[in-house]
């Protein structure tokens, strides 16, 4: 009898795990379709797709150097959903947002940290971050649902060597 209970419990746990995996796969496929449809809707605009899944396009090349780990980047940003509705921005501001590259502390998501590395001081770019490089399957507060790709418009004000104060 005890062996029967263990077997039934194992089967039930396995079914829950498998059903959870299929839901995750469905959400990921829907997210990728949303990204593909968005990019197709742009016509001739070409994003560069990096191995991480980040989509990147330079709007203004910039003339300074690209930031590396431990550099401090000061930038303005606008965060949008793929329907172009803005959900967060630091504009208009007199003091740009400050981020120490590669620290993974604070609110800068991995996709923005990575995208800043492809930019130069004085540059402006658009980043399309899949949820895996943004807020994942959980989302963030009531603002961003899980499995939501985001569009970022980033304008680097300056890049300083080392951690800034």
Q: Which two tokens stand for residue 130?
A: 């899949």
Residue showing tokens 């007199």:
94
pLDDT the model gives residue 24: 57
pLDDT per residue over 90-128, tens digit each?
887 777 999 999 887 667 899 999 999 999 999 999 999
| Cα–Cα distance, 35 to 33 (Å, whole number) | 5
pLDDT per residue over 7-38, tens digit each?
544 444 434 444 444 455 787 899 999 999 99
pLDDT the model gives residue 52: 95
Domains of the chain: 29-160 (3.10.50.40)
Whole-structure pTM over 0.75, yes or no? yes
Alpha helices in the chain, H assignment, sequence order: 2-41, 110-117
- Under DSSP, is residue 61 helix (H, G, I), strand (E, B) or coil? coil
């Amino acid at each position: 009898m005890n062996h029967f209970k263990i077997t039934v419990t194992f089967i039930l746990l396995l079914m829950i795990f498998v059903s959870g995996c299929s839901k995750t796969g469905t959400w990921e496929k829907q997210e990728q379709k949303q990204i593909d449809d968005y990019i197709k809707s742009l016509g001739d605009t070409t994003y560069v797709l990096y191995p991480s899944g980040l989509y990147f396009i330079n709007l203004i090349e910039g003339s300074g150097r690209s930031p590396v780990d431990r550099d401090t980047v000061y930038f303005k940003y606008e965060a949008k959903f793929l329907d172009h509705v803005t959900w967060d921005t630091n504009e208009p501001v007199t003091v740009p947002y400050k981020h120490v590259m590669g620290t993974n502390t604070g609110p800068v998501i991995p996709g923005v940290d990575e995208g800043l590395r492809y930019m130069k001081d004085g540059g402006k770019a658009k980043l399309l971050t899949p949820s895996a490089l943004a807020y994942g399957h959980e989302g963030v507060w009531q603002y961003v649902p899980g499995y939501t790709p985001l569009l970022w418009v980033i304008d680097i004000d300056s890049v300083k060597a080392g951690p800034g104060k």
